[in-house]
Structure 1
Amino acid sequence: MATPSATIQTGEVHVWSLSFSNAESDISNLNQLLSDDEQSRAVRFISDCDRIRFTIARGVLRQLLSAYTGHPARSIQLIYGRHGRPALTASQAHDINFNLSHSGEHALFALSRECDVGVDIERIRPYSPAYRLRLAKRFFSELECSAIQGLNASRVEQAFFACWTRKEAYIKVHGRGLSLPLSQFSVSVNPMNAPQLLATPWCPSDLKLTRLWDLAAPRGYRAAIALKTFAGDPEFRLFDWPA
């Protein structure tokens, strides 16, 4: 696989966007890149769609990691944190940190050399504002719920997904997944303003160390990224797969 640059320069964060439909014709080749464990996981999916998307996402991830580290895609060795977050082994990492997310027909892969990274993409499903508010009360902090409730009904959907993707990106930068309740910290919800981490009692230092950004996403989706301990303002380089 050719990439515009297989090197992440100082100050850069690379974000790759994938449409699953662009890779379905290559699924046999991608499947061959998966580890034995990943292939076993793939066959356990009940849904054909879920199995195909898992195979594509992991195969493309391996192609990307191969391009950035120089190791053959099939020989990439992944280790998993306590809550299932994948990472490269120390011998293969070359300081590369990565994260991936997929929803609906799209996936995002984020890579950095200078910091931990978390990324999230979500497909916007057409539910009513009242339903969004009920979900917000169930999962979000009181501060976030209050902010969303104060919006016009026409803005609730975008605010809900801005909040959701920002929160997911934040917990993924820690590799926590949903083991950290979403109600235990707060982010800004206004989709028109730059995102902020507002409160995180379980890790107060993150208010200075961790920053959030919204990412460009396909129509009908929202996406966000979180970086921890990144010095200065990052340059986000956005690529489409295949290059």
Structure 2
Amino acid sequence: MHLTPWPDPLPAGIEVYRLDFDLTIEATAARRVLTSDERAKADRFARTADRVRFTSTRSALRNLLAGRVGCEPVEVPLAASLHGKPFIERAGGNAPQFNVSHSGSHALIALGDARTVTEIGIDIEACKANVDVEAISSLAFTTRECGEVRNAADRLHALYTRWVGKEAVLKAIGVGVAKHLKTIGIRPGANGQFALECAVPEWTNFQAAALRAPIGYAAALAWRAKEETT
């Protein structure tokens, strides 16, 4: 397991870390900072690769949060919302925002300073060349997005760019991803920034951008900046 800070510039108050896995070797050392429930969950995965991804990502997250919360990694009080968005219990208003995603041999962990960021989401996906672009587009994308993907020179890139953008935004909002994929519209723009289209007024103040992912992957970050008070 190798954890590195994101090398590219990020919005104020946000940190991103990339985790690289060796999926053939059990993450034995990483288990030491997991709770008993988390170790039991890891043991329920039948495949070594799935155990490694879960164990390594949760261990790295706990180690990153521990210094910010002021406790041992295993003591970080992690919980999840109704739709599965993770958060820190009993940490007050200054608890860092965070989100994780893993796919293939990589994971991303996003941290947001509560003084400047109120919500954060991140997504990474391994780009599979044999996917049915038309079928996925019709299930997940708006009419405009379907047309853009259909007419793109690189349809696979267009598909995954929009997919990870949507996932990151919906994870930041904290709602069920599958149910709301067509509620959010993604329009890639300059410098990796996404223009967001949404009919839900409460969701219009989120921002999102593509991240420079490893070769063969797509990734995106979404966040909501804290409004300044006068």
- TM-score bin, normalised by smaller chain: 0.7 to 0.9
1:176 corresponds in structure 2 to 175
Deviation, structure 1 residue 20: 1.1
1:212 to 208, 211, 218: 208
TM-score relative to the length of structure 1: 0.81
User: Match for residue 87 of structure 1?
Assistant: 87
Q: Note the residue ranges of structure 2 that are not aligned, 5 or more in a row.
A: 6-10
Q: Which amino acid aligns with 1:109?
A: I
The change in CA–CA distance for 1:97 and 1:217 in structure 2 (over 3 A counts) is same
Q: Distance in 2 between matches of 1:93 and 1:125?
A: 40
Say if 1:18 and 1:193 are closer, same or farther in 2 by CA, change over 3 A: closer
Q: Which amino acid aligns with 2:123?
A: D
Equivalent residue of 1:37, what SS? helix
Q: Is it true that 1:122 corresponds to 2:119 in the alignment?
A: no
TM-score, with structure 2 as normaliser: 0.85
Match of 2:140 in 1: 139
- 1:7-51 per-residue CA deviation (whole Å, 9 max, x = no partner) reads xxx9321000010129957x2221011111111111111222111
1 or 2 for the larger relative contact order (CA 8 Å, sep ≥6)? 1
Aligned-pair CA distance for 1:67:
2.6
1:159/1:179 Cα in 2 relative to 1: closer, same or farther (>3 Å)? Answer: closer
Partner of 2:223: 227
Structure 1: any 5+ residue segments left out of the alignment?
Answer: 5-9, 233-243
Structure 1 moving runs of 4+ over 6 Å? none
Deviation at 1:83, TM superposition (A): 1.2
Segment of structure 1 superposing worse, 138-147 or 97-106? 138-147
Kept after mapping to 2: 8 A contact 1:158/1:191: no
| Counterparts of 2:190 and 2:139, CA distance in 1 | 20
What pairs with 1:1-243 in structure 2 (closer than 5 Å)?
11-21=12-22, 24=25, 27-91=27-91, 94-113=94-113, 114-127=117-130, 131-152=132-153, 155-189=154-188, 194-198=193-197, 200-201=198-199, 203-207=200-204, 209-230=205-226
SS in 2 for 1:196: strand
